Chain A
Amino acid sequence: MVELQEKLRGVVADLLENEKLSYVIGYQAASFGVGTRPLFIRSKEDVKKLVFSPLCSANLVRYLKYRKPEESVGVVVKGCDSRAVVQLIQESGVNREKVKLIGVSCAGVVEAEKVQNMLPEGSSFELVGFDEKKLDFVVDNKKISVNRSEVSLERCSCCEYQTPVVYDVLVGEKRDAAEKYRYSEVEDFEKHSLEERWEFWTAQFEKCIRCYACRNACPLCYCPQCMAELLEPQWLLRSVDSSECGGWNIMRAMHLAGRCIGCGECERACPVDIPLMLLNKKLEKSCLSRFDHKAGLDPKGKPVLAAFNPNDPEEFVMSGEC
């Protein structure tokens, strides 16, 4: 663990000095508890704060949106994060020459909140080691191990890209993940009747408080003016009820159709636990089966809705010749 982190610090210090980067985005320990928070490294001193562990679940690609066009920046990316960068490159949202990618091979991350709940109360928390099975913490001088399978994020269980798909420097060994089927959850849900589905989703949409945390956490939601907040035309009213919130959730899912790279940040950010990834995965599955398209893999590719194939399936199109 220490080895990987030291290596990463070395790489970042090196890049900062030699590549004239304005800053490098990485992770640092949270001010309290076990979690991590983003770190913007501008000087050599800051490099000491940089950490990397399975607790680094946030997708830092989100912060690329805020860089100035003339700035060159570096960012630490895991496999899923790197796919977001590829998607941004496809959409001309990132100039590859201005962004240095520090890839880290990742065996899955864990949910800091769950870990915190499993640990006893204390004033200091330190992660002293981890392997594929467990995480070792020292809480107020007492050593405690947490079973990794109990706290790991759901999205990591079916991750196919443990090694970043693009990077300038890779820290850690390349890992090959076995191809896993991602859509069993979607298929289980599709077994329900239309009425049952609507009942489920209205209950979810009624929980929504339209805080837009899902949008703000998403690395691919970068419009300067979001359609949800437009007043002229006003697509969604300000009232928080199931129709407006339903409209918002459909809009969000459609805007990410064929673009979502499955990092699950929206769902993690949702304060009322709406299963947003279920919607995203459904559209991902549709894109794969209809258009044989997977988001965020080919930097030279095109987003699925900005491209077409004359032979796309059109079984749903009505014909008047009857």
Chain B
Amino acid sequence: MSDDTSCEVFEPNIVAFLCNWCSYAGADLAGTSRLQYPANVRVIRVMCSGRVNPMFVINAFMEGADGVLIGGCHPADCHYDQGNYFARRRMALLRDLLEFIGIDPKRLSVTWVSASEGGNFAEVVRSVTEQVKILGPMQQLRREKKW
């Protein structure tokens, strides 16, 4: 894709796992406030960022995502008290592992966005999209589906 001469711009696919109580509401607020942000993110609502299994991320990469964003409540503000703390540990390790096997950890972003931070959500999506655009299409781990 990158070596063709047409001026087609790379538009990354970004899967966002947003927690029901904060980040998803934040994204909703960004929408109702008519804030502009890149249309590259596809949002999947989960009840808590602690619900995100590392295999969700790996599967997203396998099935065509170029980047993954995980959004949770700010630390200490989790609707379930501690879900985001667990998510933070898990994702820290997953990022370390991805980097170790040669996948740029910038493809996996984690953010805390509260229900009132619509502007912040738009800003995060802008910077994530920018980051993944620079990295280019993800080649690794793509599912071949030979049979």
**What residues make up the interface of A, taking CB atoms closer than 8 Å to B?**
186, 189-190, 194-202, 227, 235, 237, 239, 241, 243-244, 246-247, 250-251, 253-254, 257-258, 279, 282-283, 286-287, 290-291, 304-306, 308-310, 312-314, 316-322
**In the complex, what residue of chain B is closest to A311 when comparing beta carbons?**
B75
**In the complex, what residue of chain A is closest to B56 when comparing beta carbons?**
A235
Among A282, A287, A310, A312, contact of B76 (Cβ-Cβ < 8 Å): A310
**What residues make up the interface of B, taking CB atoms closer than 8 Å to A?**
54-55, 58-59, 62, 75-76, 82, 85-86, 88-105, 109-113, 117, 119-124, 127-128, 140-147
What's the minimum C-beta distance from A80 to chain B, rounded to whole angstroms?
22
Among B94, B121, B142, contact of A243 (Cβ-Cβ < 8 Å): B142
Identify the interface centre among B62, B102, B142: most chain A CB within 10 Å of its CB. B102
A235 lies within 8 A of B55 (CB) = yes
What's the minimum C-beta distance from B56 to chain A, rounded to whole angstroms?
9
What is the bound-complex CA distance between A247 and B103, given in angstroms?
13
Among A196, A282, A310, contact of B97 (Cβ-Cβ < 8 Å): A282
What's the minimum C-beta distance from B122 to chain A, rounded to whole angstroms?
8
What is the bound-complex CA distance between A312 and B90, given in angstroms?
11
What's the minimum C-beta distance from B105 to chain A, rounded to whole angstroms?
7
Beyond known contacts A239-B146, A243-B142, A318-B124: 10 more, CB 8 A cutoff = A239-B145, A239-B147, A243-B62, A247-B141, A254-B55, A286-B92, A290-B92, A304-B89, A305-B93, A320-B123
What's the minimum C-beta distance from A191 to chain B, rounded to whole angstroms?
12
Whether A257 contacts B119 in the complex (CB less than 8 A), given A196-B102, A286-B92, comes out as no
What's the minimum C-beta distance from A311 to chain B, rounded to whole angstroms?
9
Whether A279 contacts B101 in the complex (CB less than 8 A), given A286-B96, A290-B92, comes out as yes
**Chain B residues whose C-beta falls within 8 Å of the C-beta of A247 in the assembled complex:** 55, 58-59, 62, 141
Whether A243 contacts B93 in the complex (CB less than 8 A), given A310-B76, A310-B85, comes out as no
What is the bound-complex CA distance between A200 and B102, given in angstroms?
9
What's the minimum C-beta distance from B144 to chain A, rounded to whole angstroms?
5
Among B88, B94, B96, B117, contact of A317 (Cβ-Cβ < 8 Å): B88
A286 lies within 8 A of B102 (CB) = no
What's the minimum C-beta distance from B55 to chain A, rounded to whole angstroms?
5
What's the minimum C-beta distance from B96 to chain A, rounded to whole angstroms?
4
What is the bound-complex CA distance between A32 and B127, given in angstroms?
63
What is the bound-complex CA distance between A283 and B85, given in angstroms?
18
A320 lies within 8 A of B59 (CB) = no
What is the bound-complex CA distance between A195 and B86, given in angstroms?
30
Whether A308 contacts B89 in the complex (CB less than 8 A), given A198-B102, A198-B140, A279-B101, comes out as yes
**In the complex, what residue of chain A is closest to B139 when comparing beta carbons?**
A198
What is the bound-complex CA distance between A291 and B123, given in angstroms?
30
A190 lies within 8 A of B110 (CB) = no
**Chain B residues whose C-beta falls within 8 Å of the C-beta of A200 in the assembled complex:** 102
Among B104, B111, B141, B143, contact of A319 (Cβ-Cβ < 8 Å): B111
Whether A254 contacts B105 in the complex (CB less than 8 A), given A304-B89, A308-B82, A310-B85, comes out as no
Identify the interface centre among B101, B142, B145: most chain A CB within 10 Å of its CB. B101
**In the complex, what residue of chain A is closest to B127 when comparing beta carbons?**
A318
Write 9 A-B pairs (CB below 8 A) sorted by A numbering. A196-B102, A246-B141, A247-B59, A251-B58, A286-B93, A286-B97, A290-B89, A320-B122, A320-B124
Identify the interface centre among B55, B76, B127, B143: most chain A CB within 10 Å of its CB. B55
Among A227, A237, A253, A320, contact of B111 (Cβ-Cβ < 8 Å): A320
Whether A310 contacts B75 in the complex (CB less than 8 A), given A283-B96, A286-B96, comes out as yes
**In the complex, what residue of chain A is closest to B92 when comparing beta carbons?**
A290
**In the complex, what residue of chain A is closest to B110 when comparing beta carbons?**
A317
What's the minimum C-beta distance from B131 to chain A, rounded to whole angstroms?
9
What's the minimum C-beta distance from A104 to chain B, rounded to whole angstroms?
33
Whether A258 contacts B101 in the complex (CB less than 8 A), given A237-B143, A310-B85, comes out as no
Among A227, A310, A322, contact of B127 (Cβ-Cβ < 8 Å): A322
**In the complex, what residue of chain B is closest to A227 when comparing beta carbons?**
B55
What is the bound-complex CA distance between A227 and B119, given in angstroms?
38
B100 lies within 8 A of A197 (CB) = yes
Whether A250 contacts B101 in the complex (CB less than 8 A), given A286-B96, A312-B85, A320-B124, comes out as yes
